[in-house]
Amino acid sequence: MTPPGPQRGPGPSAAQPTETAREGGEVALLEQVLERENMLRALQRVERNGGAPGVDAMTVEHLRPFLHTHWTSIRADVLEGRYQPQPVRRVEIPKPDGGVRLLGIPTVLDRFIQQALLYVLTPIFDPHFSDASYGYRPKRRAHDAVRRARACVQEGYAWVVDLDLERCFDRVNHDMLMARVARRVQDKRVLKLLRAYLNAGVMINGVVVETVEGTPQGGPLSPLLANIMLDDLDRELERRGHRFVRYADDCNIYVRTPRAGERVLASVKRFIERGLKLRVNEDKSAIDRAIRRAILGFTFLPGHAAKIRIAPEALQKVKRTIRRLTRRSRSQRMSKRVQALNEYLGGWISYFALAETPSVIEELEEGLRRRLRACLWRQWRTVRTRYRHLRKLGVPSRDTAMIARVSWGPWRMAGKSLGRWLGTAFWTRQGLESVTKQYHRLRAAW
């Protein structure tokens, strides 16, 4: 498809009236999907999300004018079952622990239609999902899942069966998934459209590869379809009386003893492989104390209170990012470094403020300031430059002369020698936002 010129249209047309029923009493679900207000809402969401183009190279900016011209015929094709989704564009995203995650990027038009389907299908399925399921659900977030996990540990279920499903999104059986969708969706036209999206294929190196299983990650519908498939696992765990938390394809089952964990892992693995035709990643799945396993970037301190703390892996990740943003060999204005740090750490702390360990945040911030002092000291290369800047900071002349001539490396100098003069107040004046203050502000608001 070639998008038209840059004119801005009003969005999907309302030329055809909304139908409320079909002959024979069939549920008019597809008409609800194509209703003008729902389509406008989906269009706004796709535009807000942005993202890369699909195989047709159409960008999000071109979607609205394209719909202004072609929506009437597209709507008719969808209603009559003639609409054929285009293949998704395959993208490989490196994983932090090695390997790659395969993403499929649908065209912006297909993202638009999928988003409209999602808005109608979510109220049908979501109310029936388990209370222990938190991933990709409205009014639920990762923090809620972590709090539920902590409650399980506080009740004495201190061991966890940490289940990792191997390439869950890529291995969902289409027939089994559609059978589960059909339990609550009677409109055969919607079922046909969903099946068409599952079978659209993947474009790899210019060749369309047929997809016989899986719901490619990257499309708006994939998380809902995965939750529909894994709801059977949730119900089975509830039937057995287990305490558990599931977030997308990660499932933690809490038990009292390691021996109980071994029994649970063996039986649940059989159910997943036989009942859902999925595989358990045995390398990543484990039975361990809950305080030693991460859940969504957090874990717990020993003791009955099971205070929430940042998982060591997540803490190492933020430290690596800070090191990258404050690399001394990188030639960059300090104002740009500070801006990049504010943007990254502002989003980071808004998530990790759930942790109940303020001392870790304080230590992280002190380490950040020391790295910035090392960057600044490297920039002040000559004794004369150092002397001038130190005098501007109000350092006594005698101390300035001594500090400016020290031959220590930047990291050693950035410790107590400069910390006295380039402390919190100095970096606040440079525009650096305090992570510790943001942490306490967020926790007070919660």
| Burial of 397 (C-beta count, 10 Å sphere; 0-12/13-18/19+) | exposed
Joined tokens for residue 322: 């800070």
pLDDT tier, 13 (very low <50, low <70, confident <90, very high otherwise): very low
Given this model, what pLDDT does residue 407 score? 81
Confidence tier at 362 by pLDDT (50, 70, 90): very high
Tens digits of per-residue pLDDT, 143-162? 999 999 999 999 999 999 99
3-state secondary structure of 195: helix
Q: From residue 237, how far is each of 156, 183, 233, 253, 265 by CA, in Å?
A: 18, 20, 6, 9, 11
What was the pLDDT predicted at 442?
Answer: 96
Q: Return the pLDDT at 172.
A: 82
Task: Tell me how crowded residue 33 is: count the other CB atoms within 10 A of its CB.
Answer: 23
b/e per residue, 97-134, with b = 16+ CB within 10 A?
Answer: eeeeebbbbbbbbbbbbbbbbbbbbeeebbeebbebbb
Give the pLDDT of residue 186: 92
Instruction: Provide the whole-model pTM.
Output: 0.85
Give yes or no for residue 411 having a pLDDT over 50.
Answer: yes
Confidence band, pLDDT 50/70/90 cuts, at residue 214: low
Alpha carbons 238 and 21: distance in angstroms, whole number: 37
Kindly state the tokens that stand for 420. Answer: 């006295």
Q: For residues 152 and 254, what is the distance between their CA atoms, to the nearest angstrom?
A: 7
Q: What is the pLDDT of residue 416?
A: 80
E strand or H helix at 161, and its extent? strand 159-164
pLDDT in tens, 218-265: 789 989 999 999 999 999 999 999 999 999 889 999 999 999 999 999
Least confident of 36-50, 74-88, 199-213, 391-405: 199-213
d(CA 350, CA 361): 12
Average pLDDT, integer, range 330-353: 94
Neighbouring C-beta atoms of residue 362, cutoff 10 Å: 14
Provide the pLDDT confidence category of residue 21 given band limits of 50, 70 and 90. Answer: very low
DSSP for 54-90, written as a single string: -TT---HHHHHHHHHHHHHHHHHHHHHT---PPPEEE
211 vs 65: which has the higher pLDDT: 65
Which neighbouring-strand residues pair with 308?
300
- What is the C-alpha to C-alpha distance for residues 318 and 353, in angstroms, rounded to an integer? 14
Query: In this predicted model, what pLDDT tens digit does every residue of 98-132 receive, in sequence order?
Result: 666 667 889 999 999 999 999 999 999 999 999 99
Averaged over 269-285, what is the pLDDT? Answer: 91
The three-point CA angle 236-241-246 to 5° equals 60
Query: Which residue do the tokens 């089952």 mark?
Result: 253
Q: Which of 371, 291, 372 is nearest to 333 (CA)?
A: 372
pLDDT of residue 18: 39
Q: How far is residue 446's CA from residue 441's CA, in Å, rounded to a whole number? A: 9
**Confidence check: pLDDT of 16 > 80:** no
CB within 8 Å of 8: residues ≥ 6 apart:
64, 65, 68
Structural element, H or E, at residue 273:
helix 258-275
At a CB cut-off of 8 Å and minimum separation 6, what does 377 contact? 386, 410, 413, 414, 418
72 beta partners? none
Q: What is the pLDDT of residues 297-335, one digit of tens each?
A: 999 999 999 999 999 999 999 999 999 999 987 778 899
Residue written as token pair 């998380």: 223
Average pLDDT over residues 339-346: 97
- Max mean pLDDT range (100-114, 128-142, 167-181): 128-142
Residue 384 identity: R
Higher-confidence position of 125 and 410? 125
Q: Are strands 286-289 and 159-164 parallel, antiparallel or unpaired?
A: antiparallel
